[in-house]
């Protein structure tokens, strides 16, 4: 999938486990494709059930945050300011995460982590 970049030697940029395979990448891409389809038409709202996040959205947001940080890799020199392009193949998913990060939208905006911390945890 185009969101996955490889380090020299073929290691994927998401995570640091050398046991990750192309089938792992395919499963993650399929899951993101399914979420993108579930989010449906952008006019229907930013979240799964409209413009306000429900419990299911709040449960997905930390997972998406981690997926986003693992699609980046510090060895590639990706800056956090460029991380909005990570979900380029999943624009509704990207919109959902970006909206949840806005202050006052939901508790996730106050509790979210940052890319550097999440990458450091996974190293």
As a whole number of angstroms, the distance between CA 11 and CA 34 comes to 25
Residues 6+ apart with CB under 8 A from 79: none
* DSSP at 79: -
**Is this prediction's pTM over 0.75?**
no
Neighbours of 35 (CB within 10 A): 17
Neighbours of 114 (CB within 10 A): 12
* Rounded average pLDDT per 10-residue block, the chain, 123 residues: 56 55 78 92 90 93 85 52 64 92 89 74 59
């Amino acid at each position: 999938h185009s969101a996955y970049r490889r380090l020299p030697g073929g290691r994927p940029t998401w995570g640091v486990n050398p046991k990750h395979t192309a089938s792992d990448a395919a499963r993650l891409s399929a899951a993101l494709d399914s979420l993108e389809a579930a989010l449906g038409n952008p006019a229907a709202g930013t979240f799964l059930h409209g413009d306000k996040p429900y419990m299911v959205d709040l449960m997905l947001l930390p997972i998406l945050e981690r997926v986003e940080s693992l699609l980046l890799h510090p060895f590639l020199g990706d800056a956090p300011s460029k991380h909005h392009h990570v979900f380029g193949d999943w624009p509704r998913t990207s919109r959902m995460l970006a909206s949840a990060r806005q202050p006052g939208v939901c508790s996730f905006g106050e509790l979210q982590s940052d890319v550097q911390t999440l990458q450091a945890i996974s190293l």
